[in-house]
Amino acid sequence: MQKAAYFDIHAITNLLRGKKGILNIIETYREFYTGSLIVTQLIGAEDYLVEKKITKDKNLRGLIDSFIILDFTREDAEKAGEIMGKVKSEGKDISINEAMVAAQCFRYGLTLITGNKTFNNLKNAVKLEIKMV
């Protein structure tokens, strides 16, 4: 059974820039479920939309608005700290924002869709399915 996906800010930015392939990935997840069960963090996406005047594109705006925003919980914070500790103990680096995304993907069992290669540092710290775009 296919999982729902978490589109991070890198994937959203690739979408907004028109990078080929990202719409296909989004449609893959949208078609599997009835309704829009795509989830994302949109930190910074609104600024990008306004700056690039993409807010006038009603189809793209509707797609972005259909994403579900997850609440960040204490459980997520604890998992993010654990992930950061494991990654750093391996001599690798990850930001708190990346650890927060990983924690939410872990909690909900979501596939992470990203263009951020830093997430490759997570392979030993947390079991996640990651698709690079």
Q: Which pLDDT tens digit goes with each residue over 42-65?
A: 445 555 565 655 556 676 667 767
CA distance 80 to 124: 14
Rg (CA), the chain: 15
- 69: domain CATH number? 3.40.50.1010
Q: Which DSSP string corresponds to 69-117?
A: PPPP-HHHHHHHHHHHHHHHHTT----HHHHHHHHHHHHHTPEEEES-G
CA distance 63 to 11: 13
The pTM for the full model equals 0.76
Owning domain of residue 18: 5-132
Residue 88: predicted pLDDT: 94
Count: domains in the chain: 1
Determine contact, residues 110/40, Cβ cutoff 8 Å.
no
Range of lowest pLDDT (27-31, 74-78, 99-103): 27-31
With cut-offs at 50, 70 and 90, classify the pLDDT of residue 108. confident
